[in-house]
Structure 1
Amino acid sequence: MSLFEDTYRTILAPVEGVFRDKGSKFIAYAYPFQKEEAIKDIIAQLKSMHPKARHHCWAYRLTVDRSVFRINDDGEPSGTAGRPILNVLLSNDLTNVLVVVVRYFGGTLLGVPGLINAYKSATKEAIDLAEVLTCTVNDVYELQFDYLQMNDVMRIVKDSDLKIYSQEFDTSCKLQFEIRKLQVNEILGRFEKIEGVNLRFIRTI
C-alpha cells in the first residue's frame, strides 16, 4: 500500500460459483474474512456439507495492505489449485477474502493446465457474483482527557464525523474512535491543541 493509498477492496457477503469439466465439479465458496483462526471452522463446515468431495482447496488474502496470504492445494498437484484461486483475488485486487473450492472428481484426469483453469474459473464465477466494497483504511485511537475538556473534545469529534467505539465519561474520561488514514495528522493535531489530553494508537483496520 502506498503512502497515499487509504482504500482497499473486499466483498460484502458470502457467494458461490460452480465450474464443471469432464465430469468433475468445482464449487467455489468466497467469504469476507478477517481472522485466520476462522478457516478451520469454515473448512469443517464445508467438509460436513460435502463429505464425498475429493478436495477442499483454498486461498486467502488478509489485511488492508494486502500483505498476508496463504494457499492450500489439499492433495492436488502443487500449484494447480491454491495459486490459481489466489491469482483471481490478486487480479481483482481483493483482500480480507477467503475462497474455498470443493472438488468432486468425475473420473477423468484433467492434467495440470485443466486443473489450473478449473480452480481459476470456479473462483471467478463466485467473485463475479460478489458485491465488491471499497473500504477506507482507518486507524483506531484512544483519547484520555479531563471532564472539563469534554466540550472541546466532542466538538472535534462532531466536526470530523468520527466513529466512536467506546466512551467512558467520569472525572477522567476515555474515548476510542476511528480516523480515516489520510485525515490522521490533521485530526490528531486538533486534539493535541487541547491541553493535557493523552492520545494512544490502538490498531489499523
Structure 2
Amino acid sequence: MSEALKDTYKTLSKPSEEVLFKEKNSKFFGYAFPINNEDDVKEALELLKKQHNSARHFCYAYQLGTESISYRVNDDGEPNNSAGMPIYGQIQSFDVTNILVVVIRYFGGVKLGVGGLISAYKTAAQMAFEVADIVEKTIDVHFIISFDYKNMNKVMRIIKEKNIEMVSQTMEMSCEIEIATRKKNAENIFDIFNSIYEIIIKEKVSL
C-alpha cells in the first residue's frame, strides 16, 4: 500500500557541472539537466552543439514523468545500444526523473570497441550525476476551486488552515483559485472543499 502512496520523486535542482572522462585519446564530456518537456531537451542539445561544434557524437538519454514514465535514448552514430542505453542505465541507477543526460564524444583516433564505448558512456553519465545536486520533490495534484466572492473567507480559511499552496487566483465577482497539494493529501483536500455548499472543485488536468 505504501508504494501506491509514493508521492515524491528525485530530480536535479539545476544543470550539473561539466565532467570529462578520457579513454584512449577520446574525450567524453558529460552533462545532466533537469527538464520538464521535450522542448527542454531540444534547447539543451542546441546549446551544447554550439559549445562543442567540432564534436562527432552527441549521445543522450532522457526520462520524463513521475507516474507514467516516458524515455528516449539516442546513440547518435555510435554502434547500436553502445551509448544511449548505458546513459539511460545511470538515470535508472540514480533513481531520478525529469532528467536529460548528454555525453559528447570527441574521437581520439583509436577505436574503443563496443565494450569500451559502453563503459565510457556509462562512466561519463555517472560522473555527471556525482557532481549534480539531486533533490527530492513532491508529486503534486492541482485543483481549480470556483466560488462566488461571498464565499471567499470560507475558502481562504481552509487554505490557511491546511497550509495549501496557491498557484494562481482570479478574484472578481466569481472567483477561481488554483491550488497544489501533495498527492497523498489530495483526496482529503478535495473532500473538504467538495462538501461545502456553493464551492466547486475540480482536478486540473495537465496536457
TM-score by shorter chain over 0.5: yes
What's the RMSD between the two structures over aligned residues? 1.6
Q: Which amino acid aligns with 1:4?
A: L
Of 88, 93, 96, 1:94 maps to 96
How has the CA–CA distance of structure 1 residues 10 and 112 changed in structure 2, closer, same or farther, with 3 Å as cutoff? same
Query: How much does 1:66 deviate?
Result: 5.8
Q: 2-side partners of 1:166 and 1:49: how far apart?
A: 38
Shift of 1:65: 2.1
Question: What do residues 143-166 of structure 1 show as CA deviations (whole Å, max 9, x unaligned)?
Answer: 001111111111110111111111
User: Which residue number corresponds to residue 75 of structure 1?
Assistant: 77
Relative to the length of structure 2, the TM-score reads 0.95
Runs of 4+ in 1 over 3 A off after TM superposition: none
Query: In the aligned structure 2, how far is the partner of 1:149 from the partner of 1:73?
Result: 57
Aligned length: 205
- Residue 168 of structure 1 and its aligned partner are, at CA, apart by 1.4
One of 130, 142, 145 as aligned partner of 1:143: 145
- How far apart are 1:38 and its partner, in Å? 2.3
The match for 2:29 among 27, 30, 50 is 27
Q: Which TM-score applies when normalising by structure 1?
A: 0.96
- In the TM superposition, residue 41 of structure 1 has moved relative to its aligned partner by 2.3
Amino acid at match of 1:118: A
Map of 1:3 onto structure 2 = 4
Hey, what's the Cα distance between the residues in 2 that align with 1:149 and 1:193? 13
Q: Which amino acid aligns with 2:40?
A: A
- Separation in structure 2 between the aligned mates of residue 130 and residue 203 of structure 1, nearest angstrom: 31
Corresponding position of 1:14: 15
Q: Partner letter of residue 53 of structure 1?
A: A
Note the alpha carbon deviations across 1:161-181, whole angstroms, 9 max, x for none: 111111112221110010110
Residues 35-76 of structure 1: per-residue CA shift (max 9 Å, x gap): 102222221221111111110000001012261100000000
Task: State the match for 1:161 in structure 2.
Answer: 163
Tell me if the contact between 1:139 and 1:204 (Cα under 8 Å) persists in the aligned partners: no
The aligned runs of 1:52-67 (5 Å cut-off) are 52-65=54-67, 67=69
**Runs of at least 5 residues in structure 1 that lack an aligned partner in the other structure:** none
Return the offset for 1:203.
3.5
Provide, for residues 89-117 of structure 1, a one-character-per-residue CA deviation record: whole Å limited to 9, x for no partner. 00110000101111000110000110000
Would you say the 8 A contact 1:166–1:176 is kept in 2?
yes
Q: CA deviation at 1:188?
A: 1.1
In the TM superposition, residue 204 of structure 1 has moved relative to its aligned partner by 6.2
Structure 2: runs of 5 or more not aligned: none
Looking at structure 1, the residues matched to 27 and 90 of structure 2 have their Cα atoms a distance apart, in angstroms, of 19
Q: Is the 8 A contact 2:193 2:200 kept in 1?
A: no
Secondary structure at the residue paired with 1:203? coil
